[in-house]
Homo-oligomer: A and B are copies of this chain.
Amino acid sequence: MPATIRDVARESGVHISTVSRTFSAPHLVNPETRTRVLACAEQLGYRPNRAARALITGRTYNVGLIVADIANPFFPPLIKAAESQARQRDYHIFVADSNEDPAVEEDLVRALAKQVDGILLCSPRMSNSLIELLSREVPLVVVNRAIAGLPTVVMDVAQGARLAVEHLAGLGHRSIGLIAGPRGSWTSKEIRRSAATATRAADAELTVIGPNPPNEHGGAATAEHVLRSGVTAVLAYNDLMAIGLIEGLHAHGARVPRDISVVGIDDIALSRLIHPKLTTVATPAAAAGRAAVDMLLAHGDDRRTTAHASLQTELVIRDSTGPGPDPHSHADPGYAAAAAPDAVASYAKE
């Protein structure tokens, strides 16, 4: 039913190869012929069948985008930017969701491989070695994970975490908590590493809590642990967890930032809308999406070009962080009464 190249050829009285060239190598065909062919094509509503083209050229003009969880608000801006960037170059984009499951991830890469020119692997949960293996079957660009031999786009979360810790230390906090992200997350490791050295440098102490699922429930679930640990400020793996934590703290009677300061990472749209407005490390998700697409489509045919992009992060100070405890005051922190008894003890120690 849809018009094929043959219909256009018949209609315009030329051979199909001429029609083909009109679209894929216009300079090879006589201007008059070209306009005639284009007119017929337009009139018949002809669009080249990309699958058929791909069969012979090997280029599908599709790319795959695999994320851990579409519904995690960090990803939509990235997906949106990647889609837009790709479409600008006449590419279409398959989106798939691994549900944080490494096995699904692997299967998705394999399933998509034949149908795309490359795959954007965002926040993968697979092992490095498996990723390297897969990258031999299909061009891969890894986002949010640094892998030596492969093209990657990462956020400079190390810098962000350092800034966050320095901010907190500057406010007088000496005991800082870190709500870790999911197991297998490179970003989480990186944050931890950087936060550790930054706290040491600031002569403060770091308490790591986790790993945890990277959503608001994961954050909320740590509230009690946080209170009991006696920290006065917390850096969370992402905004969602920070927000969940604030909720959880609130439920235990603690107030943010009066009793505990909280800083998130990502600067999702949401973080500006909650109360208190979240202090957070802004990561340029949209830029990462664009960069990853560029990187994937850049190397013409010279596979095994390994670019690495590290995107700047920045600390956005809002209302969820405040001064640390007055070192001279030993007043009972009110809210602790609402928490478990040992939380009182632990907090009083400090």
Contacts and interface: CB of A to CB of B under 8 A. Distances in A.
Contact of A96 (B73, B83, B269, B273): B83
A91 to B, nearest CB: 10
Number of copies: 2
Interface stretch (A48-56, A193-201, A321-329): A48-56
Q: Which of under 10, 10 to 19, 20 to 34, or 35 or more describes the interface residues of A?
A: 35 or more
B92 A93 contact: no
Contacts of A55: 49, 51-52, 55
A71 interface: yes
Contacts of A141: none
A96 B88 CA distance: 12
Interface in A74-98: 75-77, 79-80, 83-84, 87, 92-97
A62 B94 CA distance: 9
Contacts of A270: 270, 273
B95 A95 contact: yes
B47 A51 contact: no
A25 interface: no
9 contacts: A2-B113, A47-B110, A47-B111, A71-B80, A92-B111, A95-B95, A216-B273, A273-B274, A274-B274
Nearest to A243: B273
B47 A114 contact: yes
Interface in A234-253: 243, 247
A11 interface: no
A20 interface: no
B71 A137 contact: no
A273 B241 CA distance: 12
Contacts of A92: 94, 96, 111-112, 115
B60 A137 contact: no
Given A84-B97, A92-B94, A60 B51 contact: yes
B274 A114 contact: no
A236 to B, nearest CB: 14
A73 B84 CA distance: 18
A111 B115 CA distance: 16
B83 A76 contact: no
